[in-house]
Structure 1
Amino acid sequence: MGVGPQLSIWLLLTVTVGLCFITETRAQSGDGDEEATPTVGVRLGLTEPFTPDLNNPNSAAYMALEMTVVNECTIICANALGNAFDVCLLRRFREVSAVTRESTTAADMAVQLDSSIPVSQLPTADTVANAIVEGAANSSLIDPSSVVITAVSFPTPATTGIPLSFTSVGETFTTDLMDLTTPASMARAILITTTLEPFYNESFPSSFQSMNVTGFRNGSIINDLLMQFSAGNVPNITDIANVLVNASSNITAFNISVSSITVNGTAISVSSGVSHNISLITASFFVLLSWLLSSQH
């Protein structure tokens, strides 16, 4: 029996669309910019028996299964990860040998995330894998119990470091705070960063990356930190200081003297809730001038 013209056209369109789909995804896979793209490698066990032609990316069987598994991975990740998801790519099929039954197929996939979103706000590799496990619960192709993470490649964003310090008035400085490797220093550093980071994440969601304690000094306790912001998207020093000022009334784990805050070498004085920039050089000048004037009397 011959194939009717309408069926022939339908088959031709189906094959053409499939080839275009495969060509596009393979082009994305080899675009040479993967180091800059947040990527989670996952291996998916499939219910599909493995055949030798799945070793050949140009075979009809390979391309048909590629289109099916990429499409299913895309639907699952798009639903679970939303705007953070970019594309699913197939790396290769591999044979999974079994003693008591025929070999099955595993698909090595690359789940690429949106590179325009700060790395700190992207889903973790575990989140991506769990999304696929949950999404494959009703899948006839993917075995949810087989999903494993094979690789994680999140680019390290270019950052700009901004020093910040503040004094915890009334707190006692002890000599073990001079060494950041002592238990007392490590405990205080963890306390400060875990307390303050949520405030900076909320205030600068697109630019704040991290903060690290760089040291403690005597004078009650002077806390020295290094703030990391995305290069080219660094808030001004007053805004950085104001986050600390506004957070201070909500923090009880340690004391923040808002009049002691310095950002990137500039002291931020606070008066009636308003912050003003005073460079350390200018502040020192006024101290010296005050001393000279008082010495004349």
Structure 2
Amino acid sequence: MGGSTTTGGSTTTMGGSTSTDGSTTTTALTSTSGSTTTGGLTTTTTTGGSTTGASTTAGRPTAATTTTTTAAPPPVVVLVAALEETFVEELTDRESPEFMALEKRVVQVYDIIYKAEFGLLFIRSFVIEFRPFVTPTRADNTEAEVGIEFNRTASSDEIPEAEAVVQTLVEAVSNPNNTFNLTVAAETIKFVERDNTSVTAVSTTATAISAANTSTIPTTTTSQTTTTTAEAVTIRQMTFRSAGETFTSDLLNPSSAAFQSRASLIKSTLEPFYQTTFLSFRSLTLVSFSNGSIINNADLRFASTSVPSETQIGNTLISAASGITTFNIDTSSITVDGTQVSGGVSQKISLITASFLVLLSWLLSSQQ
């Protein structure tokens, strides 16, 4: 083949060529960009003895391959804690400057604490949510829900228990010599769940586009799919009366300072008793107050895999009552899901005592 061959707008000048069985061999090249395909074979163009174009394959389809890999979820312990930070509505928007600024401070403090304690086992901390939190002294604090992620390659025995994760944070923020730029209320720290976190599935797809005379370099696309698995929770409704305490109308309004202050007081006082008694306990929330001295109505949440009975829930409150002085608990008034679970023992004792006094009185009078 003599003369020149035009490919993609460029000219290759051939000093001579021979053709055998449909193949073309170039014996001299002056300049070109790209490559020339003749008779189903591709000649790689060179300039000054070096290769300047990429070889391609023509006339042979390339099969597309797809590989999907689903990564196992990393071990994560989720904690909640109250921050001495004024809650503002902007903290519900992850894109707001207020959210991002507080998120940065929280992550910095948590990373320092857990990196120091667990070293290479600890991977990162991340903020899940900010929401309002009230205390007896303030009604505008912020509660932070934070995930503590550990190394997915570690064995289950190496991953710390949730209680150890909680205690690490409690001890760190309780240290009077800490220099953190964040104040965390140690008494409010608790874990919500473990290994119940978002799972990221990574799919890698390699795709080759084939055509009779065209070849394309395979491209790799990586996509992330986030799946959130919610823990099944069972709610128990508990009611008890605070005898001798005065009911006021603002306790009917959940937005009032009186309601929020009392709700926070009862919550922070009772939750530790239920956390200690039941590993499946998740939270206690005051939903309403009503008149009758003060009648307190609360929802208790437990993991559905292990829900205590009405009697067990009521007896926990009875056991706690004697050590609580900040509000009154009438142990004869406790009901759980409408079932009376207290007062039986005290009523029997009162009956026995009364019978004994009557008998003693009769014996004394008969001796006179």
Q: TM-score, normalised by structure 1?
A: 0.46
Structure having the higher helix fraction is 1
Structure having the higher strand fraction is 2
Q: Which has the higher contact order (CA 8 A, sep 6+)?
A: 1
